[in-house]
Structure 1
């Protein structure tokens, strides 16, 4: 479980007090169905167990440690309206992540990530099932194969030369060089060229939107804790609105790339598979070639975004 920031928990706790007055009478409580749930601390209406993580000024991870000592290695917390299982021992984690791996294989998808990933149509957050298995298999066998990677050696060498040239040019004009910015641009350019066969002109705007989307995806959103009050939590936090803006910029760029690729293919009408890039393969899968279920366009955009994130995590320091 990713620990929620202390300030966010405090803000969520105070906000939930206001939200409770707006919904307590409008929606009467439904009779609960008996379930065999793990033990956990007592809960308050609306806020659930969140007060246990902030009362006394303790940091959230220390509060979780103290609660696990009292309630055991498998514990139930309710963060707002969201039930959450906490596994705090090696045995409990092994049971969830190995023994019951298929049951817990689908990652929980937040409201923000749902917006950024076109409804979970990528690989990382796609529900475990036929679609996920097919898309993952396609990427491993057709996109990440040794022959395919070797085919882009000259492209990578060219981009490395461009990177060295950009660093040299920046060093001549300023004593300080922003290597993080240049390396991010290098990874982005290399990956986009490998995927599409061309560079993208909307470089600065795309990188800004992409960087913002990564921060939003790693952050917290009140709508995840209070899904039934999303109309109000969206107004309070604004994270969903920012995610939609980033999705429009990134999705717009990918739409333009796909459109230009289709136009080039229509003119050239090339059949030489040696000159195919990754987007050519994905568009063939969109037509149903070589796959049991055709890829949707949103799935193609999600795969491209996953590939970009993968390259950044592999090549750049955290």
Structure 2
């Protein structure tokens, strides 16, 4: 009678075999890509992410000295081309500008910016060209910029008054804070028709802007290693993003409704950016669809 011997692999043995398989797959897969730029050795799953360190610009400079001015990094699943020379940058931006015109996909930016409906992150194409045309011709034309001159002058005068007030009382002046408020007030008046600084609405707006910038700049593991995206649920990042999106959406709805209510009594010379965009949406003068 034949005796059947069962072979039981220890869990650690399975883990080691899996690690060896993944490592060999990464190395052999890289070896087949003969036409790619030089690349540092990468770790399975995370690629070269750990090599960036706390100061990525210094790490990239150090890696470029070893691997050349044109270098390929693998940030998780995202291949990233690093160009460290003026000639290389000129070649990319002039000759191959269309290929490299789009920004890397970001799940957080996609959510907060309504599937990339903004100008800065919208993919290059017809929609982006329409939005750029609206900005250049309607929002930032020399005529429109001149119409906003009084707003800039008024807010600058208030800044000077605040500096004089602090100086007369021998108090310290935080110029960074004052210039930040100046920029915020000018942008809000030009865009929405009023300032958002004082009172409860001002505090909410400031908190919303801070959270918006924070979640846009946070490291999102899902963008580099998609199958680890569930970690965002544990860290609360997804909940933060949803809160910012809902608050931003509510704020923009209020601004639009207020602008619609006041459009009847608004002269062309007093129109803010929202008024101009609503006018374009109603008249479709540029053939663009603004939702």
* TM-score of the superposed pair, with normalisation by structure 2: 0.76
- For residues 29-40 of structure 1, the aligned pairs below 5 Å read 36-40=35-39
- For residues 126-145 of structure 1, the aligned pairs below 5 Å read 126-145=122-141
Structure 2 residue runs of 5 or longer lacking an equivalent are 1-14
**Kept in 2: contact 1:206–1:249 (CA 8 A):** no
Q: Deviations over 1:8-52 (max 9, x none)?
A: xxxxxxxxxxxxx8xx79xx99xx797543231333321212344
Matched, 1:152 2:151: no
1:262 pairs with 260, 263, 274, which one? Answer: 260
**Kept in 2: contact 1:197–1:277 (CA 8 A):** yes
**Kept in 2: contact 1:112–1:239 (CA 8 A):** no
Matched, 1:80 2:81: no
**Kept in 2: contact 1:126–1:132 (CA 8 A):** yes
Q: Which moved more, 1:286-295 or 1:130-139?
A: 286-295
Going from structure 1 to structure 2, the CA distance change for 1:51 and 1:186 (only over 3 Å counts) comes to closer
1:289 pairs with 278, 284, 291, which one? Answer: 284
1:71 pairs with 62, 67, 72, which one? Answer: 67
Taking the aligned partners of 1:90 and 1:141, their CA distance within structure 2 comes to 32
Aligned counterpart, 2:245: 247
Aligned counterpart, 1:280: 275
**Kept in 1: contact 2:221–2:228 (CA 8 A):** no
Taking the aligned partners of 1:292 and 1:216, their CA distance within structure 2 comes to 34
Aligned counterpart, 1:309: none
Taking the aligned partners of 1:170 and 1:90, their CA distance within structure 2 comes to 46
- Cα deviation for residue 251 of structure 1 reads 3.1
Q: Which has the higher contact order (CA 8 A, sep 6+)?
A: 1
Q: Deviations over 1:58-99 (max 9, x none)?
A: 964444344334433322221122211122223322221221
Structure showing greater radius of gyration is: 2
- Cα deviation for residue 139 of structure 1 reads 0.8
Counterpart secondary structure, 2:229: helix
State the Cα RMSD in Å.
3.3
Q: How many residues align?
A: 265
Aligned counterpart, 2:48: 49
Structure 1 residue runs of 5 or longer lacking an equivalent are 1-20, 297-318
